Amino acid sequence: MTRQKQILLLALVVILAGAGYWLYRSRGGAASVGDKDLITAQRVDFPVVISATGVLEASRSVSVGPPQIRRERRFKLMRMVDEGTVVSEGDFLMEFDTSEIISRLRDETANFQRVQEERQKKRSDTDIQLKNLKLSLEQAKSDLEKLEVKLSSQVDLVSGIEIEQTRIQRDAAKRNVELLEKKVGYKTESGQLDLQISRSNEQHYRGRMDDLMDAMDSFVVRAPVAGVVIYKRNWNNEASEIGSNIFAMDAVMELPDLSSIRAKIQVDEIDSGKIKVGQEANITVDSVRGRTFTGKIVSIGTILKQATFDRPQKVIDAYLEIGQLDTQLMRPGMNLKAQIRVGEYPQVVVIPMSSIQERDGRSFVQVWKPEIKKFEWREVSLRTNDGMTAVVEAGLDANEKIRARPIV
């Protein structure tokens, strides 16, 4: 066979193969059509579903943070138990740095000792001054008594001038006695007042010392109830870490009542008017693979809010009660997805989305024509879809067969 004939034969084979492929395509591939290639359009009640995301949360929980201590506003976290730890009442949860408390206790102890020493010194000084005043008073009384005796004995023996001088001395002595008595009384009262002030200062610093001692004990925080430890997260979804500064009113962790776990979801503003209390939903939890839980909306928020600081879309909160609650697997904070049934289209024709070919905004399917044993393209009008299944409004009847995946 010459080379020219070989080339002609090869060209003929290619032409015949192309013709066969064209014939196959023109007949819709009928020769190779099997049951697995065909789908029957079904008439069913099609549920209207909206999707939402959210988290599990416990409606009842105990928040735990730093101890409530007067004049203490900030605490440094030193250690804490791991998240997910199951604790009993009284078990260790976390501990805060006590170095500042120890320093303040040292200062308050020094202040207490100082006021003690001041009180003892004041008492000693007051005792000495009172003793001297009382001795002076006794001497003044003795001098007054002598002048009284002298004055009474001079009435008939000395001149009137001497008697008057003695009387003047006696009056001066009497005034001196009265003055010394007042000084003794004043010194006694002032000494008692100083001692009361000193005792009050001692009690003040003693109270501060006792408060700080009690505070040191409370810097070790224990579980107020039994539960599972869940770290509390801030607006940026970050939990407190060892070394973090915690403010007095901040919560570090919570101990949820696992039997009160519910789903908190955020519904987009566009769908917010469709949800109602009592509607049922299917819930999947990201951390619980292979399981779907039933749920029912029990409450809906009243205001729209921004989803997150970096997501300006408006959402509304809704809460779902979970059926078949599994407290062994579920924990607050786990992410979830919910499919909420908000209505249905009764007895409509449905087909898989995979059987639809989109062209310039129009939808087409390949309908099997058994009388001519081939497929033909047909435009259909769609009402809605859930991402997997579409509702046909016009262009296709129930029980008609279409190609499972269109071939262009």
Dump pLDDT digits (tens) for 218-235.
889 999 988 889 898 887
**Given pLDDT bands bounded at 50, 70 and 90, which one contains residue 186?**
confident
Which H or E element spans position 53?
Answer: strand 42-58
Say what the pLDDT of residue 12 is. 57
pTM for the full model?
Answer: 0.56
**Given pLDDT bands bounded at 50, 70 and 90, which one contains residue 394?**
very high
Tell me the pLDDT tens digit for each residue of 97-113: 988 888 888 888 888 88
**Given pLDDT bands bounded at 50, 70 and 90, which one contains residue 32?**
low
Q: Which residue has the higher pLDDT, 54 or 208?
A: 54
Phi/psi at 308 (nearest 5 deg)? -145, 170
pLDDT at 17 over 70: no
**Given pLDDT bands bounded at 50, 70 and 90, which one contains residue 282?**
very high
Say what the pLDDT of residue 23 is. 45
Say what the pLDDT of residue 93 is. 95
Q: Return the percentage of the chain with pLDDT > 90, whole number.
A: 37
**Given pLDDT bands bounded at 50, 70 and 90, which one contains residue 16?**
low
**Given pLDDT bands bounded at 50, 70 and 90, which one contains residue 248?**
confident
CB-CB contact of 396 with 346 (8 Å): no
What is the C-alpha to C-alpha distance for residues 195 and 102, in angstroms, rounded to an integer? 29
Q: Which residue has the higher pLDDT, 309 or 252?
A: 252
Say what the pLDDT of residue 10 is. 59
**Given pLDDT bands bounded at 50, 70 and 90, which one contains residue 132?**
confident
**CA distances from residue 100 to 107, 114, 248 in whole angstroms, order as listed:** 11, 21, 15
Instruction: Give 15-19's long-range contacts (Cβ < 8 A, gap of 24+).
Output: none
What is the C-alpha to C-alpha distance for residues 208 and 71, in angstroms, rounded to an integer? 11
Say what the pLDDT of residue 56 is. 93
CB-CB contact of 226 with 202 (8 Å): no
What is the C-alpha to C-alpha distance for residues 279 and 34, in angstroms, rounded to an integer? 41
pLDDT at 189 over 60: yes
pLDDT at 366 over 50: yes
**CA distances from residue 198 to 115, 191, 203, 206, 211 in whole angstroms, order as listed:** 6, 10, 9, 12, 20
Out of 28-37, 99-108, 159-168, 368-377, least confident range: 28-37
Compute how many other C-beta atoms are within 10 angstroms of the C-beta atom of residue 346.
9
What is the C-alpha to C-alpha distance for residues 200 and 195, in angstroms, rounded to an integer? 8
What is the C-alpha to C-alpha distance for residues 35 and 14, in angstroms, rounded to an integer? 31
pLDDT at 329 over 70: yes
List the structure tokens of 275.
């949800």
Say what the pLDDT of residue 19 is. 47
Instruction: Check residue 90 and report its DSSP letter.
Output: T
What is the C-alpha to C-alpha distance for residues 52 and 267, in angstroms, rounded to an integer? 5
- Burial of residue 332 (number of CB atoms within 10 Å: 0-12, 13-18, 19+): buried
List, in order, residues 6 or more apart from 46 with CB less than 8 Å away.
344, 345, 348, 350, 389, 391
